[in-house]
Amino acid sequence: MKKDLISNDIQLNASGKLVHLLGLEGLSKQHLTHILDVADDLLDAQGNLKKSKALDDMSVANLFFEPSTRTRNTFEIAGKRTSANIINVDLANSATKKNESLLDTMHTLKAMQIDMFVIRHKQSGLPHYVAENIGNVAILNAGDGINAHPTQALLDMLTIRQYKKNFESLSVAIVGDILHSRVAHSGIQALKTLGTKDIRLIAPEGLQYESKNCDTIKCFTDIETGLKDCDVIMVLRLQKERMMEADIPNEQEYFDNYGLTFERLALAKPGAIVMHPGPINRGVEIDSSVADGEQSVILQQVTNGIAVRMAVMEILAGKS
């Protein structure tokens, strides 16, 4: 499904309440801020996760049609910490492998009294398709193709807000494969909605944003220029299969030109924070000295990911 044909209109009910989380386009600043506020309330003063009984009468099915460890585990933990009954569907041996249609599988799960589907799929728009065709079940997009990864963007926004407070005055640099990154696409949308004016996209020409989007966002092929005086650096994971598309002969050349080193980090503001959605390719996108350094907030992102996913589940269930 083409990205420009994917609509998020169905994720709000007639009263403007969130009933699905499919993407961040179409959501207001108030919607995003509410999610961040609920997530904040699920962390104690030391930044540790609280437990909640909000979903103790509900069942949540994790449907990961695409390999994932970090995202699947954090959704499972989030569900358990909100007291939901979690079902991890064995898709390797599911009926879809026996030629049952995807919608038939979803209808069967719904008949098992599932209240929420967490869906990750390689096809852009698949969670939207399910939401359009299955009623009375909340759909939560855990990443679809190269389209969107809304909870990753929200956990990134929560992390930025914890360290930087005000989005409007920030300079945020996103480094890596912008073109194919659902993390970048959702992150850019979130930053725009929250009022960030200075968004910088740093990538090789073959992995840069579509040129029409560079009219409103600053696009750089030179990392040193792009990082100058920024407040936040978001490093993206580079998939090996994308290197050939961008005429990058090997990982070392990518690191030489776009890897975040301690020297390049020094071009940003002194208090700049470093982020990465994980898993990290050390020595490809980022040097270990930076990933493990004082300015790195990568592990905080992981904790925040659970809080954000707990918050979204509670909101979709009408409990927050």
3-state secondary structure 49-114: ECCCCCCCCCEEEEEECCCCCHHHHHHHHHHHHCCCEEEECCHHHCHHHHCCCHHHHHHHHHHCCC
Residue 39: C-alpha distances to residues 22, 43, 93 (Å): 18, 7, 35
162 is in an annotated binding site: no
Cβ contact 205:257 at 8 Å: no
71 is in an annotated binding site: yes
Other beta carbons within 10 angstroms of residue 300's beta carbon come to: 17
- The encoded tokens of residue 225 equal 């220029």
149 is in an annotated binding site: yes
120 is in an annotated binding site: yes
3-state secondary structure of 2: coil
Q: How far apart are CA 316 and CA 162, in angstroms?
A: 24
242 is in an annotated binding site: no
Q: How big is the chain, counted in residues? A: 320
- The encoded tokens of residue 290 equal 């930076």
Residue appearing with tokens 């208090």: 271
| Order of all β-strands in the sheet with 218-220 | 218-220, 198-202, 171-175, 232-235, 273-275
276 is in an annotated binding site: no
Q: Which residues contact 150 (CB under 8 A, 6 or more apart)?
A: 21, 22, 23, 24, 141, 186
- Ramachandran angles phi, psi of 139, nearest 5°: -110, 130
Question: Which residues belong to the annotated binding site?
Answer: 70-71, 98, 120, 149, 152, 182, 237, 278-279
Question: Which residues belong to the annotated binding site for L-aspartate?
Answer: 98, 182, 237
Question: Which residues belong to the annotated binding site for carbamoyl phosphate?
Answer: 70-71, 120, 149, 152, 278-279
